[in-house]
């Protein structure tokens, strides 16, 4: 893992060419009403993380003029998700369609985009499956993505991998990325944070380390 000292020497990283992306902090992935306890799919660790993410977003907004990009999903049922997900879910063991007939599941959970923020809606795991995201980042000349959200071993990981393939560099805020309480998924996320992400995809650091780095860069470029 790169140290904060090493990152401070990266002169290509500037507050105005970086942007924060928040993945899937919605009721579908966070709220206790959307848990599936019979399958062991519960979100207590996610709910514990969300207030810290909310605090970080407020800190981040004080350090940059960039908006925050909030990524959410279409209604997760047969009528809306990508065709290959519908094909996958023909296997009953993979079926994870929402049973919610209202719009509750798609609403953000305890966070709220502000007037100048941007919402990108996806119909698959990876946020870049919505081409508007890549177009937006290129228009804004973004080179570095700060990524947070859920599920770390699912949609966050998919977004990191595709975003890196598209040429973006990443700051992966490991304390603001969570997954379900399931023991196996928690172990997988730990391995992603410890090995896969820092070795292959980007600087995997804490939100406090990132704030310290950004404060230094802001001073350098003001």
pLDDT at residue 222 is higher than 60? no
Q: What is the Cα gyration radius of the chain?
A: 17
- How far apart, in whole angstroms, are the C-alpha atoms of residue 19 and residue 35? 31
Over the stretch 33-59, which tens digit does the pLDDT of each residue have? Answer: 999 888 778 999 999 999 999 999 999
The model's pTM is 0.90
Per-residue pLDDT, 7: 39
pLDDT at residue 83 is higher than 90? yes
Q: Which domain holds residue 98?
A: 4-221
Over the stretch 28-40, which tens digit does the pLDDT of each residue have? Answer: 999 999 998 887 7
Residues 85/40, Cβ–Cβ less than 8 Å: no
Please give the structure tokens belonging to residue 198: 């820092």
Residue % of the chain over a pLDDT of 70 = 91
HSE toward the beta carbon, residue 185, CA cutoff 13 A: 18
Over the stretch 180-220, which tens digit does the pLDDT of each residue have? Answer: 999 999 999 999 999 999 999 999 999 999 999 887 765 44
Provide the CATH number for the domain around residue 54. 3.40.50.850
Summary mean pLDDT of the chain: 90
- Per-residue buried b or exposed e for 182-195, using 16+ beta carbons within 10 Å of the residue's own CB: beebeebbeebbee
DSSP assignment, residue 108?
Answer: B
Over the stretch 102-141, which tens digit does the pLDDT of each residue have? Answer: 999 999 999 999 999 999 999 999 999 999 999 999 999 9
Sequence-distant (6+) residues with CB within 8 A of 47 are 30, 32
- How far apart, in whole angstroms, are the C-alpha atoms of residue 158 and residue 122? 12
Per-residue pLDDT, 217: 63
Total tally of structural domains belonging to the chain: 1
- The closest of 51, 64, 46 to 211, measured between CA atoms, is 64
Please give the structure tokens belonging to residue 184: 């196996």
pLDDT at residue 157 is higher than 80? yes
pLDDT at residue 11 is higher than 70? no
pLDDT (average), residues 156-172: 98
Q: Phi and psi (nearest 5°) for 53?
A: -65, -40
Please give the structure tokens belonging to residue 56: 């970080």
Confidence of residue 13 (pLDDT cuts 50, 70, 90): low
């Amino acid at each position: 893992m790169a140290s904060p000292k090493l990152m401070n020497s990266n002169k290509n990283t500037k507050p105005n060419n970086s942007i924060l992306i928040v993945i899937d902090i919605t009721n579908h992935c966070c709220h206790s009403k959307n848990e599936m306890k019979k399958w062991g799919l519960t979100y207590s660790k996610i709910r514990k993380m969300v207030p810290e993410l909310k605090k970080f977003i407020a800190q981040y907004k004080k350090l940059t003029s960039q908006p925050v990009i909030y990524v959410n999903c279409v209604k997760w049922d047969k009528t809306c998700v990508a065709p290959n997900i519908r094909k996958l879910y023909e296997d009953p063991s993979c079926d994870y369609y929402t049973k919610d007939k209202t719009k509750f599941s798609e609403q953000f959970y305890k966070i709220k985009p502000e007037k100048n923020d941007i919402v990108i809606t996806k119909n698959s795991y990876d946020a870049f499956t919505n081409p508007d995201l890549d177009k937006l980042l290129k228009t804004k000349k973004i080179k570095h993505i700060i990524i947070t959200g859920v599920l770390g071993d699912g949609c966050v990981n998919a977004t990191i991998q595709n975003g890196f393939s598209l040429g973006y560099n990443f700051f992966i805020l490991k304390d603001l990325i969570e997954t379900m309480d399931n023991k196996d998924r928690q172990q997988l996320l730990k391995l992603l944070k410890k090995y896969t992400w820092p070795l292959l995809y980007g600087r995997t650091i804490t939100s406090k380390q990132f704030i310290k780095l950004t404060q230094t860069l802001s001073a350098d470029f003001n």
